[in-house]
Amino acid sequence: MIERHLMKLRARDDLTDEEEQAIRSAVADVKEVSADQVYVRAGDPLTAATLLLDGIMCRAKDLRNGERQISELNVAGDFVDVHGFTLKQLDHNLITLTDCRVASVPHARLREITEAFPHLARLYWFGTNLDAAIHREWELSLGRRTAYARIAHLFCELRARLELVGLADGDGYDLAVTQGDIAECMGLTPVHVNRMLKQLREEGLVEFRDRRVAILDWEGLARAGEFDPSYLYLGRRPRED
């Protein structure tokens, strides 16, 4: 059930059997949530954290005129609002972009396991630091990359993150989001995204169609987006106790 989450943790560090058991036992309940729901609303008091098992969720903030900025896409295996453990409420909404399966981890259990296993506390701290690194990279995209490069970069990032949890390979991955969702990630409009997708397809780099990202030329796509995966800290490091 939480296999993808464990894959994500194990990609970078070792996990003992006791730690794995502690994480498994911290999961309180699992539910299905349909697409386009606000799952956690900004400002709502939080007593549990959300572990995404399947689907795509996002962090988003809205302006009064209806404009929305998505600040991160979350994929299966992500502890999507583990920052809420210390903040106790969010400053952004947590929204399902596709049908999702989510597990709830009560803050009380999270406190128990992080106190019993300091190594887990550090792994989850790493997780929030990783989110911050992703936000910085998106800031670079939104502030400085062209529309074309933003989209190329996003497709590269998602490939790397989904590959870590067994949901992507060199050919591509399933991505059931809309052009509108991509526009809200990258500060564009759906019409503009459509135009850039056409250019990326015609240049033989990537094709986004029928809810699938088909990677046609990985090297070329990475070059187009100036994708340097170092901000995703994909490397495995020896365990420190």
d(CA 53, CA 67): 28
Inter-residue contact 59 to 70 (CB < 8 Å): yes
Q: Is 64 in the site for another protein (CB under 8 A)?
A: no
Question: Which CB, 96 or 114, lies closer to another protein?
Answer: 96
Choice from 41, 111, 198, 236 touching another protein (CB under 8 A): 198
Q: Is 191 in the site for another protein (CB under 8 A)?
A: yes
229 φ, ψ to 5°? -70, 5
Q: Is 69 in the site for another protein (CB under 8 A)?
A: no
Q: Is 176 in the site for another protein (CB under 8 A)?
A: no
DSSP secondary structure string, 2-50? -HHHHHHHHTTS---HHHHHHHHHH--EEEEE-TT-EEE-TT---SEEE
- Give the largest CA-CA distance in the chain: 54
Choice from 194, 207, 220, 226 touching another protein (CB under 8 A): 194
Given the rule CB under 8 A, which of 47-55, 71-79, 110-118, 172-180 is the region that contacts another protein? Answer: 172-180
- How big is the site for another protein, counted in residues (CB under 8 A)? 17
Q: Is 212 in the site for another protein (CB under 8 A)?
A: no
Q: Is 111 in the site for another protein (CB under 8 A)?
A: no
Inter-residue contact 107 to 49 (CB < 8 Å): yes
Question: Which CB, 104 or 178, lies closer to another protein?
Answer: 178
Nearest approach, Cβ of residue 15 and another protein (Å): 40
d(CA 45, CA 87): 9
Q: Is 146 in the site for another protein (CB under 8 A)?
A: yes
Buried b / exposed e over 220-235, threshold 16 CB at 10 Å, is: bbbebbebeeebbeee
Choice from 195, 212, 236, 239 touching another protein (CB under 8 A): 195
Q: Is 192 in the site for another protein (CB under 8 A)?
A: yes
Residue 229 DSSP code: G
Q: Which residues bind another protein (CB under 8 A)?
A: 146-147, 178-180, 188-192, 194-195, 197-199, 202, 209
